[in-house]
Amino acid sequence: MTRLLPLRLSLLAAVGVALLVLPLTGLILRTPWTALIGDVGDAGAALRISAVVSAVATLLAVGLGIPIGWVLARGTFRGRSALRAIVLLPIVLPPVVSGVALLASLGRSGAVGTLLNNLFGITLPFTIAGAVIAAAFVATPFVSLVSEAGFRSINPGLEEVAASLGARPWRRFRRVVLPQAAPALAAGIVLGWARALGEFGATITFAGNLPGRTQTLPLAIFFELEQDPEAAFSLSLILVVVSIAVLSAARHSWMR
Listed residue (160, 242, 34) closest to 250, CA to CA: 242
Site size toward another protein (CB under 8 A) is 19
CB of 239 to another protein, least distance (A): 19
Region from 22-30, 67-75, 102-110, 147-155 binding another protein, contact rule CB under 8 A: 102-110
CB of 167 to another protein, least distance (A): 50
Listed residue (60, 231, 238, 66) closest to 148, CA to CA: 66
d(CA 50, CA 29): 25
- Please list the alpha-helical segments (H only) found in 75-94: 80-92
Cβ atoms < 10 Å from Cβ of 209? 17
Closest to another protein by CB, 144 or 205: 205
CB of 159 to another protein, least distance (A): 47
Closest to another protein by CB, 71 or 228: 228
d(CA 183, CA 18): 29
CB of 125 to another protein, least distance (A): 5
- 204 sits in which H/E element: helix 201-206
Restricting to residues 165-224, which ones interact with another protein according to CB under 8 A? 204, 207-211, 214, 222-223
d(CA 235, CA 226): 14
Restricting to residues 103-122, which ones interact with another protein according to CB under 8 A? 103, 107-109
Closest to another protein by CB, 100 or 149: 100
Region from 41-49, 52-60, 123-131, 232-240 binding another protein, contact rule CB under 8 A: 123-131
Listed residue (75, 96, 183, 91) closest to 141, CA to CA: 91
Closest to another protein by CB, 209 or 243: 209
Closest to another protein by CB, 57 or 207: 207
d(CA 219, CA 208): 9
Q: Using the rule CB under 8 A, is 25 a contact of another protein?
A: no
d(CA 190, CA 184): 10
Closest to another protein by CB, 109 or 155: 109
Footprint of another protein (CB under 8 A): 103, 107-109, 123, 125-126, 204, 207-211, 214, 222-223, 225-227
